[in-house]
A and B are shown apart, each in its own frame.
Chain A
Amino acid sequence: MKPDFITPLRVASLALAGAAALALAAPVGADRVLRLDEVAVGELDPGLASDYADSILMFNVYDTLVLPRQGGPGHVPHLAANWDGEGTQYTFQLRDDVRFQSGNPLRAEDVVFSLERMQALGRGLSFLFGNVEMAEAVDTHTVRFSLNEPYAPFVASLVRLPIVDKETVMANLGEGEGDMKDWGQGYLSANGAGTGAYRVIAHNPQEETVMVRNDDYFLGIDEGAPDTVRLRYGLEAATVRTLMAQGEHEISSQWLPPEVMRALSNEGMQLLTESGTGAFYFKMNTTKAPLDDVHCRLALANAFDYEAALKLIAVTDTLSQGSASTGAIPVGMFGANPASMTLARDVDASRNHLAQCAHDPADFSIEITWIAEVPVEERFALLFQANLAEIGIRSTITKVPWALFSSQVNKAENTPHVSQLFVNAVTGDPDTLLYGMYHSTAAGTWQSPEHLNDPEVDRLLEEGRTGASDEARDAAYAALNDRLTAIAPSIYSYDRQSIFAGSPKVNAPALSDPAQAFGLDGMGFSFRLMTVEN
């Protein structure tokens, strides 16, 4: 007898086949589309932005008064035509040919509003402007900032002050207390209000943000730049690999495992890079025996196998997710050593320092922690454990969730001997990298589990942030670099280098040519500077 129950199976099969046929028959977009991904969520409000995805959005939807100089340290005018100032007063003359995406002209009061909004919200990167006493509109196109105290990296901080359209925000205030209600958070979390080269047309913080080019952009946009950009959030590695193989994804995030990057490279994808913004550190608790003795710390620093560490994160034979460290300051920043002065393992030196250490290594077991959310750190912990075993130091490896780690480091006695951390300079200036890690007043945060208290380091950090000229600052940071190498509060494992797999049809100079790199996380993804084959 013919089994009639098979009918639902047949219907389902036909439905799926029909759907697939209809899907394949779907129209194909004709414009230049760039699809890339990052971890969720994408925060569109520039006052709340802090992560990598947020930075990509910020640098494309909004503009800032200055931009990092491409290919080296320093800054160039952007929304500002020029600026003047030092110490506690800075005056910026704005360009008069800039319009917001709403059509409103850019005015000095928009700059003042943007700063006040960021300070009032107190979220994201607002801490960078904690020392700005006030900003005032001198005239329509002139704005003056007054600082509480001299702060040389102030101009660098401005790369994190996106200018928002005051008129648009004020017309879209949501519910809240006081005159400013919610400061437009509800509106700006779903809409753009900047002068940027790309306009947001759809935003789902867990799925994707869709942007289209703003043809009225004040600097113009290359014809070959993408017409539409789809920034997708939270794609799995397997999904990204399949999408790229299908030609439905142009640039991967930096978070793919090295093995997947390698596979994509073997399949013909290009590898794009962004570096010079931070480093990977083994941070030693300088208050806890035996690491309270500088010789013991130097023994550990010399025992570490820097070359093997780079191999652990190698993507190809010549490219790794890090570059060789030359000291406490990543190559490319003020005070950094030349790229040729790489740190190297020296077991003899390590044993000599160990012999001079006031503590007997046999009395201790070094606790090496790794952050549970960053699995690659376990590999480094195992490498370091093997390195220490070679010089006769016992160690244990502990996995710590980030939430627990960030609270336990508040007290020196609860802080483990060795913590592994990636730290970035959020403005590209060494002050935002080093002050929070090594100044004695900043001890006990997630960035500073060293609990360092060294007057010489404090002095040089102050000198670096108040230096009157780039040369003076460079000299101060170079001296600081030497001091930090001599007292070794951390092991400077490698300079971080982000790698992205990209389709060959994408040309991204800021991510492939060091002379055009910005040295600031996310700014290499300025879509107006990219081109995409149609």
Chain B
Amino acid sequence: MHPVLRLLLRRAGMSALVLIGVSVLIFVIARVIPGDPARIALGPNATVEQVANLRDALHLDQPVWRQYGHFIADLARGDLGVSLYTNRPVTTDIAQFLPATLELVFAAAILMIGLGLPLGILSARYRGGIIDNSIRVVALLGVSAPSFVWAVILMLLFAFFLPIFPIAGRLSTDFLIEPVTGFLLVDTLLAGNPAAFGNAVSHIALPAFALALSGIGQAARLTRANMVETYDRPYIEMARSYGFPERRIAGRFAFRPSLIPSLTILGLDFAAMLGNAFLVEAIFAWPGLSRYGVAVILRKDLNAIIGTVLIISATFLIANLIVDLLIAWLNPRIRHGRGTGG
């Protein structure tokens, strides 16, 4: 079997086991948090009988293992139950909210890679100079302040004092775009509406940048550190002596080997943004899954908690799988089945 295929199968198998473990863990944790989900869902005015009826409907009076059995049986039918928060099927909620978060996280990831890596390369290329020092300060600021702080600062700068960007929602109310993929940047293009596309970009710009800033700083710092180390290798010196241009040395001989360790961290950063998006989504009124996830946890909405956690876990695992495959593709020792250690 090809080593990359073997790696893919092994990782997929492990991911399935992790998902089962996560489902058991979150199922139990959600049930031991203090508070009666039925009482919380029905509100303070509900009668004792109403609460008892809902508890019965949710099987909450049964042992946890039987409740888990009901959950697995429903899951096998593709049914995650009804959310007590929105009173809609959890699958409907996820289908509505997930694309918004994925779009935001993808945009942030593009910014993270599109700005973080070039900044890291620049910093390493001009190390010790003013460009390097400036980038390192900016990167440090990006890493040290959480996303929500940047969200508020960006909102103040570019919406309050200098009203350039919109700050609420995904698209101006002047546009009516029929959802096809749920990704508005795609749907506006599919609708052939460049003004709506521009409007969607302007809506996503601030939240995506706020979410990406930490990753941009991280990517720049990692890339710089790895490239500086690579620059000290003898083969770089040899490339210089052969007269290769600096641009080619940086891009081909120094950057590519430095990318492998960075990629692992960036993959984790990407997945972590799914969870970190919560406060950014709240500040920019972005109707995404992270915000939904926190709301359902606060309401102890059992079905929605499990559904959301499973989806975020699955996305996390898929992102890791893709990173592993990318590393395998970049690393000839793995690609050609040598030195993988089994």
Q: Which residues of A contact B (CB under 8 A)?
A: 1, 3-9, 12, 15-16, 18-29, 33, 40-41, 43, 45, 48, 50-51, 122-127, 130, 185-186, 189-190, 204-208, 210, 230, 232, 234-236, 238-239, 241-243, 245-246, 248, 401-404, 406-407, 426, 446-447
Contact = CB atoms under 8 A, between A and B. Distances in A.
Interface string B153-174: 0011001100111111100111
Given A232-B168, A234-B285, 13 more contacts: A22-B195, A23-B199, A26-B174, A26-B198, A40-B295, A41-B295, A124-B43, A125-B45, A204-B287, A206-B295, A239-B168, A248-B166, A403-B40
B25 interface: no
Contacts of B172: 23, 26
A207 B284 contact: no
A425 to B, nearest CB: 11
Which A-B residue pairs are the 4 nearest by beta carbons? A403-B35, A22-B198, A19-B201, A23-B202
A24 B43 CA distance: 43
Interface string B269-310: 000000000000011110100011001000010000000000
Interface string B24-35: 000000000111
B316 interface: no
Contacts of A189: 86-88
Contacts of B284: 239
Nearest to B126: A3
A293 B173 CA distance: 60
B65 interface: no
Contacts of B54: 123
B34 A407 contact: yes
Given A23-B172, A48-B87, A407-B34, A206 B247 contact: no
Contact of A12 (B111, B164, B300): B111
A239 B45 contact: no
Nearest to B205: A16
Nearest to A48: B87
B207 to A, nearest CB: 11
A19 B202 contact: yes
B246 A9 contact: no
A158 B204 CA distance: 45
Contacts of A50: 42-43, 45
Contacts of B175: 26
B201 A16 contact: yes
Interface stretch (B115-123, B259-267, B317-325): B115-123
A403 B34 contact: yes
A4 B246 CA distance: 11
Contacts of A238: 152, 155, 283
B125 A3 contact: yes
Contacts of B205: 16, 19-20
B194 interface: yes
Nearest to B40: A403
A23 B291 CA distance: 25
B39 interface: yes
Given A22-B202, A50-B45, A246 B155 contact: no
B122 A3 contact: yes
Given A22-B202, A50-B43, A51-B43, A8 B86 contact: no
Contacts of A235: 168, 285
A232 B285 contact: yes
